[in-house]
Amino acid sequence: MSDTVGDLLQEVTDALRAAGIENAHWEARYLLQDAIGLTPTDFVLGTGQRPAECDRVRDWVRRRVAGEPLSRIAGTRCFRGLDFQLSPGTLDPRDDSEVLVDACLSELPEQDTARIADIGTGTGCLLLSILAERPKVSGLGIDLSPDAAATARRNAAALGLSGRAYFAVGSWTAALPETGFDLILSNPPYIRRDVIPTLDVSVREYDPILALDGGDDGLDAYRALARDMRRILKPGGWLAVEIGWDQGESVQTLLMRAGFAQMRLIRDAGDRDRVVMVRNPALSG
């Protein structure tokens, strides 16, 4: 690796481009900023680099060329303008999941004191993003992975949200200590088991299988939600779930048969089915 920032940036860019990585120059700048703490001013001034720093850059480049996502290498992902720590037990948040956050916010007025739950919370990015924008809402995140729950707690602390965000380890509603939630959201595993080996290496090798595997037809998690969520939600409460692009009709059918009402199918920026939102019927009389 070269001694000057300009040469170093060019070498990293060339290595990433040779590996077929899109936006190689942008990724190279990001990698150098995170790996050795360079600033935009350093790129202009051409500050020299110590050999130990270059060794770290070399290691990060090797990992990126092998297919590891940049966010995994750096250990953080920006989601909705907030930084979230990642860990081996957490899914790497995707921008498409902002559609789910927006859907939930639409049913949570700014001064609402609602109680919400996030099933399969992972990094906590969905729950914590909502709490960051709704200062009177409190929430509980559930995950099967102790590693994920611990990561979500760290993220809540880093964002100053520990007083309103709580996390527990367990399986779906078995980990919920109480009922009567105003809104429940989930980005559950929804990929068909036979599709997982065909996914990009950045997904199949680095995202936890627990967060990907939706069973033989990709719908196992939705069946569990359809079975249990009505008794957990308040009458009139909302359930919002992220779905695969081709699962809208199937998920709506499962939830309708479970007795939910007011079906909404929400599309993402690419005009693909992304979120199903349904309401627990209010008590009559």
Binding site members: 120-124, 143, 172, 187-190
CB atoms within 10 A of CB 266: 18
Q: Shortest CA distance to 123 belongs to which of 164, 172, 171, 159?
A: 159
DSSP assignment of 173-237: GGG-----EEEEEE----B-GGGGGGS-HHHHTTS-GGGTB--SSS-HHHHHHHHHHHHHEEEEE
Q: How far is CA 24 from CA 11, 16, 64, in A?
A: 11, 5, 11
Contact criterion met (CB below 8 Å) for 172 and 223: no
The binding site for S-adenosyl-L-methionine comprises 120-124, 143, 172, 187
Q: How far is CA 17 from CA 11, 24, 86, 170, in A?
A: 10, 5, 26, 43
Q: Shortest CA distance to 47 belongs to which of 12, 1, 6?
A: 6
The binding site for substrate comprises 187-190
Task: Supply angle C-alpha 61, 123, 181, rounded to 5.
Answer: 165
Q: Shortest CA distance to 159 belongs to which of 147, 169, 151?
A: 151
Query: Angle, to 10 degrees, between the axis of helix 5-18 and the axis of helix 24-36?
Result: 130
